[in-house]
């Protein structure tokens, strides 16, 4: 008759009590994690819905320390206008192969203009509040415009596939219907993007506070080199006889601090570049005549009904829509962090709110272009180092 012997616990064998204790510790850790995020969400909601009329109305009070217009605003206006215009022209050229001019100019561009107006006015409102709160005269408005990566993601990930699939199903017989279907589905996807950004705005400040600044700004460098640097520099090198002289003027004026008297640096570069374009036949009279045909009044459209009717078709494209929304939200947090490092402490939640509402406005009025703060706030501070910047208007 054999007697059973118990195996003593070793370093590799935990007792039942130790396993239970370890499981309890993990459960408590997970519980604390979720309770922390729940408390943050409740706090953010409470702050968001707190009625604070004095702060809201401070933007409209007279502030002698914060001038309405300074010389640097003209440089900032030209720089921001050219940047948004260059992005918009790239988008228009890409869309011309699948969408009609009526949709591009009469609907997409019109909706973009309304969303751009909203965002710039709201960002100026935020700047005036900050200037009044801190009694400063050097608050710079964050630049606002098109979310470039998201725009091209929608073009190549939604509009092109929807259009070509529709044309294949209809044997290429109803091109207008396929164009409208692609446009409506892109609008619906953009609307969802805006809603996701609004949902994420409650956690924006928490993410900014608890994420190292270097990590937040790391993707900024990639976007800066790729979209804001290399992409535009390739356009310059494509026509050097026209572009290199204005480019040199910009470098000398903004980075070399060369003074140009009463005329802004950007205005000089724009005038010389235009003159060289005509002198070298890069611009032609026929191009102007073709463009004039498109210059006409385009009334604002409100395609909400068609957009919501197409919501049941955006499922296959959520793999593009949701990541785009998250990237826009992270981009806004990066913009706020960039502004903070330049000395302007904007509320992350409010900036994300402005971007989300701007994106929804764009979709409701015919544009699939997502709207966001832009990643060169410090550059505008350097351009406009004399006083506050209203350059975004």
Closest CA to 310 of 191, 185, 187: 185
Residue pair 317/159 in contact by the 8 Å Cβ criterion:
no
Q: What tokens does 82 get?
A: 């050219």
Asked if residues 142 and 339 have their Cβ atoms less than 8 Å apart, the reply is: yes
pTM for this entry: 0.76
Residue 166 pLDDT > 80 = yes
pLDDT of residue 387: 42
> Residue 40 has which token pair?
């943050």
What rounded mean pLDDT belongs to the chain? 82
CA distance 200 to 217: 19
In this prediction, residue 18 carries a pLDDT of: 62
Distance CA 366, CA 110 (A): 7
pLDDT at residue 23 above 80? no
Report how far residue 388's alpha carbon sits from residue 80's, in angstroms, rounded to the nearest whole number.
16
Report the C-alpha gap between 107 and 38 in whole angstroms: 41
Domain parsing of the chain, residue ranges = 68-231+295-383
The whole-angstrom separation of Cα 119 and Cα 369 is 13
Mean pLDDT for 365-369 is 95
Note the pLDDT tens digit of each residue in 39-88. 766 776 666 655 567 777 777 777 777 777 776 777 778 778 888 888 89
Asked if 107 contacts 346 with a C-beta cutoff of 8 angstroms, the reply is no
Let me know how many helices (H) and strands (E) the chain has, helices first.
18, 2
Q: How far apart are CA 328 and CA 170, in angstroms?
A: 35
């Amino acid at each position: 008759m054999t007697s059973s012997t118990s195996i003593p616990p070793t370093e590799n064998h935990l007792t039942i009590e130790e396993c239970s204790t370890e499981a309890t510790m993990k459960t408590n850790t997970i519980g604390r994690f979720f309770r922390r995020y729940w408390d943050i969400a409740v706090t953010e909601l409470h702050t968001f819905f707190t009625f604070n009329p004095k702060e809201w109305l401070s933007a409209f009070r007279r502030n002698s320390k914060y001038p309405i217009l300074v010389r640097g605003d003209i440089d900032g206006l030209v720089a921001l206008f050219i940047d948004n215009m260059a992005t918009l022209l790239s988008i228009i050229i890409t869309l011309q192969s699948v969408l009609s001019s009526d949709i591009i100019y009469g609907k997409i561009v019109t909706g973009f203009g309304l969303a751009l107006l909203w965002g710039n006015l709201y960002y100026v409102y935020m700047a005036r509040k900050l200037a009044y709160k801190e009694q400063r005269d050097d608050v710079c408005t964050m630049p606002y415009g098109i979310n470039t990566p998201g725009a091209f993601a929608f073009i190549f990930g939604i509009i092109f596939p929807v259009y070509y699939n529709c044309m294949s199903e209809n044997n290429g017989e109803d091109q207008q219907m396929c164009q409208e279907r692609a446009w409506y589905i892109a609008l619906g996807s953009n609307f969802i993007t805006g809603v996701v950004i609004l949902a994420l705005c409650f956690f924006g400040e928490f993410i900014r506070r608890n994420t190292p600044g270097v990590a937040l700004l790391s993707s900024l460098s990639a976007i800066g080199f790729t979209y804001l640097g290399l992409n535009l520099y390739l356009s310059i090198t494509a026509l050097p006889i026209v572009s290199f002289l204005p480019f040199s003027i910009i470098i000398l004026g903004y980075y070399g601090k060369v003074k140009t008297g009463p005329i802004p640096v950007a205005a000089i570069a724009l005038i010389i570049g235009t003159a060289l374009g005509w002198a070298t036949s890069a611009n032609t009279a026929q191009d102007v005549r073709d463009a004039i045909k498109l210059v006409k009044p385009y009334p604002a459209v409100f395609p909400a009904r068609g957009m919501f009717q197409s919501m049941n078709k955006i499922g296959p494209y959520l793999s593009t829509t949701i990541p785009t929304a998250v990237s826009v939200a992270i981009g806004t947090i990066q913009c706020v962090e960039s502004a903070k490092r330049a000395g302007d402490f904007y509320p992350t939640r409010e900036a994300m709110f402005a971007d989300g509402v701007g994106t929804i406005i764009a979709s409701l009025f015919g544009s699939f272009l997502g709207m966001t703060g832009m990643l060169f706030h410090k550059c505008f501070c350097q351009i406009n180092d004399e006083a506050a910047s209203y350059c975004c208007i």
